[in-house]
Amino acid sequence: MTQVSIESRLDEAFASPDVHDLTIPGDGVVAVILAYNEALRFPYFLEHYRALGIAHFIVIDNNSADGTRAILSGCADVSVIGTEKPYRDYKSDWRQLICERYLEDRWVIFPDVDELFVYPGWPDRSIDELVRVLDDNDHRALFCPMVDMYPKGPLKDLKYRAGDSFLEASPYFDGTGYRYCPLKGSHRKRYKSPSRHLFGGTRERLFHQDAKRSETFLDRALLRRVFSIRAHAPETAAGRFVDHLLFKLVKDALPDTAAVQSKIPLIKWRSDFKFSGGVHGIDKQISVAPEWGALLHFKYLDDFQSKVTEAIARKQHTDDAGHYRDYNTQMTRLMDEGLYTSQSVLFSGIRSLIDHGLLRDFGRFDRQG
């Protein structure tokens, strides 16, 4: 790929002069972020990721109108690329082209502004120490469950203000109700890494319950043993084939509209990688570390109702914002009653995630001393 053709593709995807000649530090992990109207979350988001040791932030701002650009414009460690191109059509291209142009063979993290990345050793070890361990073991990505976080009371009672800790506002998560299994349909063949994804949790408990048939004894056995959150994904081609055959037995008993609740947001980029739309999978088979990080997901802050309304109106997300329409059907109950149940777990550091199977640490990080 020649430099001219890359520049031409950047012009097509962004239609913005901001995309050319970014100045990025030569070392360290770079964050690439897509954003639209995130003035409420950006102050604490940046505080969290700066504490991890992120070297630079590249923010693709999709025509925000809430003061997001003003918050970012004075930050020496942030490069902002403004674009009016449609998010739905270009979200994968934006990430991939930025990495191809500026970040080949660099460690890159792709968080949303409502996600806080945590990992084995956090908060005592930096993200540079984390990727050093991954490099030493020839891994190219880290798998992360998306853990929905929420407050104890009704959403209407939240009083979050920009710059406040996300975790103080929404410190609870679902500790049960997850499964770890392959994708359904053609995506499984097209996007080879990771070989399994996480499903379930808060979003499925609230919004996605319908399946083609009821669970059988065999379904329950497979979900409890083969596809449990503590199971391990097969590493060989033969193992993945058997995994797929077993999954075919149970898939019709699972919710049809289930949202993928995992990503591989930390990747050592290579120019031939292609995302599956979001950061859920890569089309190449690569070495994904056996350890898991986690993305603590803070969708349920004060602006949840307005964000859902906005997403439905913009129709820039998958299936014309289908998941947001699901949220909207439960909006009154969520605002009046909240998401907390007797089974909710208080986040008290990564140990609380490890105890519930949502983060994996095999001690390799500690041994790097």
Output the average pLDDT for the chain.
Answer: 92
Q: Which of 179, 176, 174 is nearest to 221 (CA)?
A: 179
Contact 65, 313 (CB under 8 A): no
Residue 369's pLDDT is 46
Please, what is the angle between helix 87-102 and helix 3-14, to 10°?
Answer: 150
State how far Cα 276 lies from the chain centre. Answer: 12
Q: Give the integer Cα–Cα distance in Å for 128 and 131.
A: 5
Q: Is the pLDDT of residue 136 over 50?
A: yes
pLDDT tens by residue, 162-199: 999 999 999 999 999 999 999 877 677 788 999 999 99
DSSP symbol at 336: H
Over 70: is that where the pLDDT of 71 sits?
yes
Six-digit token string for 206: 């609230």
**Confidence band, pLDDT 50/70/90 cuts, at residue 352:** very high
Provide mean pLDDT across the span 266-293: 93
Predicted confidence (pLDDT) at residue 368 exceeds the cutoff of 70: no
Mean pLDDT in residue range 317-340 = 80
Q: Residues 321, 312: contact at Cβ < 8 Å? A: yes
Residue 345 bridge partners (DSSP): 173
Among the ranges given (150-159, 249-258, 286-295), the one the predictor scored with the smallest mean pLDDT: 249-258
Instruction: Give the whole-angstrom CA distance, residue 255 versus residue 252.
Output: 8
d(CA 31, CA 44): 15
Is residue 1 very low, low, confident or very high in pLDDT (cuts 50, 70, 90)?
A: very low
In this predicted structure, the answer to whether residue 278 has a pLDDT above a threshold of 80 is yes
Answer yes or no: are the C-beta atoms of 55 and 79 closer than 8 Å.
no
Sign of the Cα torsion 125, 128, 133, 134 reads: positive
Please give the Cα distance from 115 to 20 (Å, whole number).
27
Residues 265, 146: contact at Cβ < 8 Å? no
Going along the chain from its start, the domains and CATH numbers come out as: 1-113 (3.40.50), 115-369 (no CATH)
Confidence at 21, pLDDT banded by 50, 70, 90: confident
What is the rounded CA–CA span in Å between residue 357 and residue 369? Answer: 25
Task: Give me the pLDDT at residue 36, please.
Answer: 93
Tens of pLDDT along 83-125? 999 988 888 899 999 999 999 999 999 999 999 999 999 999 9
Q: CB burial class (10 A; 0-12, 13-18, 19+) of residue 343?
A: exposed
| H runs (alpha helix) in the chain | 3-14, 42-52, 68-73, 87-102, 127-136, 166-169, 187-190, 201-207, 217-221, 237-250, 304-314, 318-329, 331-337, 350-355
Reported confidence tier of residue 321, pLDDT bands at 50, 70, 90: low
**CA of 40: how far to CAs of 31, 50, 66, 81, in Å?**
19, 17, 9, 19
Q: Which tens digits make up the pLDDT trace of 6-18? A: 999 999 999 999 9
